[in-house]
Amino acid sequence: MSIPIDFKEQIDSLKQPYIGNLDTFKEYYVLTKQFPNDETYTRFYENSRNNLQKGMSELFVISNAIQKEIENIKNKTTNLDTNIKNEQERNKELNNKLKGREGDVNGAQTLIDDYNKMYVIQYVSNVTMLVGCVIVGRLMYKTFGS
């Protein structure tokens, strides 16, 4: 199993610089709008804007990693759910087989059921044989009797 990733720690590490960068951005945004010809304010404004965008891109990467981890967990749980359902079906089959094998009464019931099935199969084959003989007899009578 993979080592869990601490996304909260990664997000928290982006929080502090983001707040500072946001304050700096606000300050230099106002100063740049007030003094558009001052290169120092414009440069600091661009720098703070780039820092904010860098933080947002890192946050986006973390968001994608979280989404990917969610998909992995979903796939694992789906596989586990399928395995559990298969094992439950297998458990039912084994319990049914066990019921037929437990005790003398249940063993006798199993034998009775088996012989009933064999009787029905033999009965169907006898009736089929009789019907076949009657049909063959009629065909022979019509063919050779005339």
pLDDT digits (tens, 9 = 90+) for 107-131: 677 788 899 999 999 999 999 999 9
The reported pLDDT for the residue numbered 74 is 95
* pLDDT single digits (tens) 26-81: 888 888 888 888 888 889 889 989 988 998 898 899 899 999 999 999 999 999 99
The answer to whether 11 and 65 are in contact (CB under 8 A) is: no
Amino acid at 85: K
The answer to whether 86 and 41 are in contact (CB under 8 A) is: no
Predicted TM-score of the model (pTM): 0.53
Residues 6+ apart with CB under 8 A from 65: 5, 7
The answer to whether 31 and 41 are in contact (CB under 8 A) is: yes
The answer to whether 2 and 57 are in contact (CB under 8 A) is: no
